[in-house]
Structure 1
């Protein structure tokens, strides 16, 4: 059974049509020639072009394609195989909520055999880039806070450096399903941040796991640590551009970064595993 979509307007189930999808209320959504569906109604947008812009998406695609964050992919795949054991002979169904340009989504789809995967992001440029990574994933332009998907159908939800909506995640998960949330560790990208800020403080512990609904509980938390060796100014600038720090860098700091030929930088991320009871 394919991933079950729901209408973002009336919340009824969407059925496949020759041109896209349609609900019983005759709300129709055409599938773009690149393969994705735009299920973000215009009145739900808070800006004309919400989410990451073209420059951020291109920088992230270049940087991640070089494999610097591969240890995070490996940890996610390991955990999916571990928590997905209850699925048995059925296909494991995975949602990447806030998938960006699809790096993690496509890697997971390739490495977890027998999986049905859906990637959702509010940024249209990000989803366009994601479509170039894989044609075997259901790519959707939509908001994480109002996911156009029918409930109780996913075994695993991935959230990598993205906003979370616990009520939506709990609605979409099957009983016993899991959320894998990736957040920055205290010293993530410390060397880069030291080049930008005078006073560099450790990232605070993520407090989102302290505000869970009753039917979600934290069952495990693991760290992923590596030392990345970034070669070339383009790679260093791509890392900067794909982070929120890009908006705080001063022109003279940017010029200094553009002159670097290499940078040793910390990769430190925390993967929190939550389960729906």
Structure 2
């Protein structure tokens, strides 16, 4: 097994290739982006920010890190890694970006799953500086980037694989940076995902309509895999971490959050779909 940082970065201001120069990445125009002491690099210019501190907060990142490192979503990570590496020939090198990587859990799982003969060139990108800081502290083998899915700081046609886990897909950008035939693996919540928690924190639940898969332009749909299992959470801390790492924390009322905080155990349904797309240059 060999893990190497992804190299084909692009300037977020003009799209020119970035070259490593000491402790910074620079483009031919002269734009320069310093490498932090933790090893990550901020490629989110201030003019592309919608707020002073976009993305998940430090507390949300910490809650997600505790929850995921406890193994609660391991079946999702296993299914993702299996789909990513299926059919990959021995001695192949796979360039992969996790777009919206959070604190890097799924990218680390993928790195652990490859065979001794395979090489992964990995990069994780998130708009939250707190998420990237946490990822960089846990994994020195991948490239960690603060950036936006709306303007990926990646050179065109350089990725074999792109992951989008519970994130915000920007398909025109995904198509731009993937090689022809490159894969997009996207994980989204299903209608019953965390239903039991939502029933506690909300007065009523909206009726979930069955949504047909919308095929994004530039992609072909290969398959969809349903991942569903009961998850038993014991202890108020685990339940609090699950709530804190989701948007439900801010959508719920104070009364709903109080009801969740009073729980000592809870079994929730994990219900997600893993959709496998291929970049289709004819699409």
On whether the aligned pair clears a TM of 0.5, the verdict is yes
Between the aligned partners of 1:235 and 1:115, the Cα distance in structure 2 is: 32
Taking structure 1 as the reference length, what is the TM-score of the superposition?
0.94
Between the aligned partners of 2:207 and 2:269, the Cα distance in structure 1 is: 12
**Residue aligning to 1:93:** 95
C-alpha change, 1:92 and 1:40, in structure 2 (3 Å) is same
Taking structure 2 as the reference length, what is the TM-score of the superposition?
0.92
Structure 1 residue 248 displacement after superposition:
2.1
Among 16, 23, 33, the alignment partner of 2:27 is: 23
Aligned residues: 273
Between the aligned partners of 1:248 and 1:206, the Cα distance in structure 2 is: 22
Q: CA RMSD in A?
A: 1.6
Residue 167 of structure 1 aligns to a residue whose secondary structure is: helix
Between the aligned partners of 2:170 and 2:63, the Cα distance in structure 1 is: 27
Residue 263 of structure 1 aligns to a residue whose secondary structure is: strand
C-alpha change, 1:143 and 1:94, in structure 2 (3 Å) is same
Residue ranges of structure 2 left out of the alignment (5+ in a row): none
Among 24, 43, 63, the alignment partner of 1:39 is: 43
Q: Is the 8 A contact 1:187 1:202 kept in 2?
A: no
Superposition misfits of 4+ residues, deviation over 3 angstroms? 201-207
Q: Deviations over 1:33-83 (max 9, x none)?
A: 01101000011101000100111111111111100000000000110111x
C-alpha change, 1:110 and 1:202, in structure 2 (3 Å) is farther
Residue 225 of structure 1 aligns to a residue whose secondary structure is: strand
Q: Is the 8 A contact 1:21 1:29 kept in 2?
A: yes
Q: Deviations over 1:89-126 (max 9, x none)?
A: 33111110000111111111222242111100000011
Residue 131 of structure 2 aligns to a residue whose secondary structure is: helix
Between the aligned partners of 1:223 and 1:68, the Cα distance in structure 2 is: 17
Structure 1 residue 176 displacement after superposition:
1.0
